[in-house]
């Protein structure tokens, strides 16, 4: 426990369980309204604006949705964003939740109320909306371009509701959709006896207090009156468009977010303690001249540095290497004539001479032998990749197949 300005208690569970289960287990420790967020969420959402939405309206639940960032590619294998690694993970953690579900989100612009949350996929060309919803919410904005950022504020009674309904294990896939539907379904509201959980002394919802985010992009020529709702249950949404961020819960987005952070970071693209060989290029747009004599950077002539690339502290890069639209972590060793494009290389990785790395993720303490070509792949921590390896669209992890001493060639149809 940390004792400072704030008292921080860190608790852990040996089992892989859903976030809703965690909140139910911690219900005795939660004394009031609670903020819940994921450790893999990166966002520029102003916390004050989101919390003001909650303070002004006092909904049962407030959730953040962000516009889906366009991907520049990289970090994912050709087998459906690392499906083999995903299968390996879930075979060892059967209670863990799978990757996020994509939803069609419907939000009432007049009140910021989240009134529709339906799972969908890229093959769906249309969606059915009940006429009663359209009548109840004439200023309804519907989009399939928003992601649940996994940032919530819950009224205290919701924690008791979770504890009483042990079948609810996931916030995103079970609890939030259930509460959204219960807002306009009296039968569902009664079935779960929600009235028994809501504090009867709580203040009524003030829907006129907060306008839905002005950046939603769907407008109405005539402002509609605030709709009537069923009971005191209310789920509100804060939408952030043109935002920086998302959840780093799959490989392509992890790679994209690394590049976003590198782009907006105030730190130099090449850390002052990094050692860079002659004629090495860390490329994208900006041109900087040779470092001053007081710098510990070791490079000659001009170095191209991009806001889309970053080289971490203590990393050594050999001669005639090229790093483009990539992030390299701390204390890595990169040999001569290495080409890294659209990739993430984590701390303490070692890449020997002549390696080509494209659209891939290399985890900590990986060693890649010379003259290997790695494309659209993921390499797990502490993996030893032999020299002359050719891998495309693969996942190389410690539990993988045995390898020869003279290199391996991987090719799948």
Task: Give the integer Cα–Cα distance in Å for 97 and 191.
Answer: 26
The CATH number assigned to the domain holding 217 equals: 3.90.550
Q: Which of 57-61, 76-80, 149-153, 320-324 has the lowest mean pLDDT?
A: 76-80
Same domain, 121 and 172: yes
Contact between 289 and 306 under an 8 Å Cβ cutoff? The reply is no
| Per-residue pLDDT tens over the stretch 180-206 | 999 988 999 999 999 999 865 554 443
Helix (H) or strand (E) holding 48: helix 47-57
**What value, to the nearest 5°, has the Cα angle with vertex 270 and ends 268 and 272?**
85
Task: Give the integer Cα–Cα distance in Å for 344 and 324.
Answer: 11
Which string of DSSP letters, residue by residue, matches 135-168? HH-TTEEEESSEEEEEEEEE-HHHHHHHHH-TT-
- Decide if 256 is inside a domain: no
The CATH number assigned to the domain holding 335 equals: 2.160.10
Alpha-carbon distances, residue 47 vs 33, 63, 151, 183 (angstroms): 16, 12, 10, 26
**Alpha helix positions (H), 58-148:** 83-92, 131-136
Same domain, 54 and 177: yes
Mean pLDDT for 163-180 is 94
> Shortest CA distance to 354 belongs to which of 381, 378, 322?
322
> Any residues with CB less than 8 A from the CB of 313 and at least 6 apart, and which?
271, 273, 274, 330, 331
- Decide if 78 is inside a domain: no
pLDDT at position 252: 79
pLDDT at position 87: 45
pLDDT greater at residue 133 or residue 199: 133
Q: Is 355 exposed, middle or buried (0-12, 13-18, 19+ CB in 10 A)?
A: buried
Residue 48 above 80 pLDDT?
A: yes
Task: Give the integer Cα–Cα distance in Å for 394 and 288.
Answer: 37
> Shortest CA distance to 234 belongs to which of 266, 194, 278?
194
Whole-number percent of the chain with pLDDT over 90 = 36
Domain that holds residue 144: 2-72+95-247
pTM of the model: 0.71
- Decide if 411 is inside a domain: no
Same domain, 195 and 287: no
Same domain, 236 and 353: no
pLDDT greater at residue 272 or residue 312: 312
Average pLDDT, rounded, for the chain: 76
Same domain, 243 and 278: no
Same domain, 219 and 283: no
pLDDT at position 272: 66
pLDDT greater at residue 89 or residue 55: 55
Q: Where are the beta strands (DSSP E) in 271-343?
A: 275-276, 281-283, 286-288, 303-305, 310-311, 316-317, 322-324, 327-328, 333-334, 339-341
């Amino acid at each position: 426990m940390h004792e400072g300005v704030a008292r921080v208690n860190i608790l852990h569970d040996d089992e892989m369980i859903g976030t809703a289960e965690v909140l139910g287990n911690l219900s005795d420790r939660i004394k009031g309204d609670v903020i819940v967020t994921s450790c893999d969420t990166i966002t520029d959402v102003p916390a004050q604006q989101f919390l003001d939405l909650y303070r002004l309206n006092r909904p049962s639940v407030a959730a953040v949705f962000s516009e889906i960032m366009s991907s520049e590619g990289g970090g994912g294998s050709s087998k459906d964003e690392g499906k083999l690694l995903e299968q390996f993970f879930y075979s060892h953690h059967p209670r863990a939740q799978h990757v996020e579900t994509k939803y069609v989100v419907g939000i009432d612009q007049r009140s910021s109320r989240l009134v529709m949350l339906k799972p969908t996929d890229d093959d769906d060309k249309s969606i059915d909306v009940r006429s009663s919803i359209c009548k109840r919410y004439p200023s309804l904005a519907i989009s399939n371009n928003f992601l649940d950022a996994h940032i919530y504020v819950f009224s205290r009674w919701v924690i008791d509701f979770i504890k009483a309904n042990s079948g609810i294990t996931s916030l995103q896939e079970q609890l939030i959709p259930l509460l959204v539907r219960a807002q306009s379904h009296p039968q569902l509201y009664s079935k779960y006896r929600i009235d028994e959980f809501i504090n009867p002394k709580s203040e009524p919802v003030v829907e006129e207090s907060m306008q839905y985010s002005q950046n939603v992009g769907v407008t109405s020529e005539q402002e509609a009156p605030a709709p009537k709702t069923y009971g005191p249950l209310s789920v509100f949404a804060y939408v952030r468009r043109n935002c920086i961020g998302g959840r780093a819960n799959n490989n392509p987005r992890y790679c994209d977010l690394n590049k976003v952070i590198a782009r907006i970071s105030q730190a130099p693209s090449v850390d002052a303690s990094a050692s860079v060989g002659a004629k090495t290029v860390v490329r994208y747009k900006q041109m900087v001249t040779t470092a001053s004599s007081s710098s510990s950077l070791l490079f000659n002539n001009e170095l191209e540095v991009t806001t889309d690339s970053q080289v971490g502290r203590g990393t050594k890069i050999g001669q005639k290497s090229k790093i483009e639209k990539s992030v390299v972590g701390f204390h890595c060793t990169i040999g001569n004539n290495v080409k890294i494009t659209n990739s993430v290389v984590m701390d303490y990785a070692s890449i020997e001479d002549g390696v080509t790395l494209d659209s891939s993720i290399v985890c900590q303490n990986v060693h890649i032998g010379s003259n290997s070509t790695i494309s659209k792949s993921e390499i797990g921590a502490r993996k030893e990749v032999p020299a002359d390896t050719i891998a495309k669209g693969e996942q190389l992890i410690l539990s993988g197949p045995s390898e020869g001493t003279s290199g391996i060639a991987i090719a799948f149809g």
